[in-house]
Amino acid sequence: MSRREHWEGVYSSKPPDRLGWYKPRLQTSLEWIKTLGLEPDAAIIDVGGGACTLIDDLLDEGYTSITVLDIAEPALALLKERLGDKSAAVNWVCGDITKVELPENAFALWHDRAVFHFLIERTDQERYRDNLCRALRPGGRLIIGTFAPEAPPKCSGLPVQRYDLELLRETLGSEFELQRHQEEMHVTPGGVEQMYLYCDFRFAP
């Protein structure tokens, strides 16, 4: 089964609020984004946006240049349905972040909660990084949430790469300057504890 088929099957078989990574509000992400001082029209991309509520909150905060990328069309469809008329204000991209071509120097902020840790092959991690370095503007920010070492070794039936701070910095490369980090416990709708490592990096190529 391909990566796309797996995630389309996941989103087609369960309601969004029963998915393991579901959280009613991505409070850490939203609070960090609000402290960046971005202009309302600053270009933001949410990688693996799925059916999360971050996009709702960003629109409510007045951000007007938002791109949502997800590998699963059913995930995007769920989000579009929930947003209703507001969905017209969002740029939607259905694609695999290791394969899709993103515009150069396009984004002031790249947000990713729970995508990068599913890339366990070094080649996929490098392709992700290549896209990140191409699409993020110099001085732009990367806010990323991955499984921490204390988290389970699998999620949604797939193995994950767990990261401590040193490994994540090494994998992303020296162009990414750490601004802040924290660990945060996420409890899935099924009651499983998953420790996340959240990091905010400045891109300085």
Question: What DSSP designation does 14 have?
Answer: S
Q: What is the pLDDT of residue 113?
A: 94
Each domain of the chain, given as residue ranges in start order, spans 3-203
CA pair distance 190, 203, nearest whole angstrom: 36
pLDDT over 70 at 133, yes or no: yes
Query: Options 3.90.700.10, 3.40.50.150, 3.40.190.10, 3.10.20.30; which CATH number does 3-203 get?
Result: 3.40.50.150
CA pair distance 39, 118, nearest whole angstrom: 31
Sign of dihedral through CA atoms 65, 107, 119, 4? Answer: positive
Q: What is the pLDDT of residue 95?
A: 95
Q: What pLDDT digit, counting tens, does each position of 5-63 carry?
A: 888 887 777 777 666 666 777 899 999 999 999 999 999 999 998 777 899 999 999 99
Q: What pLDDT digit, counting tens, does each position of 101-129 carry?
A: 999 999 999 999 999 999 999 999 999 99
CA pair distance 119, 126, nearest whole angstrom: 10
pTM as predicted: 0.94
The owner of tokens 């991505």 is 26
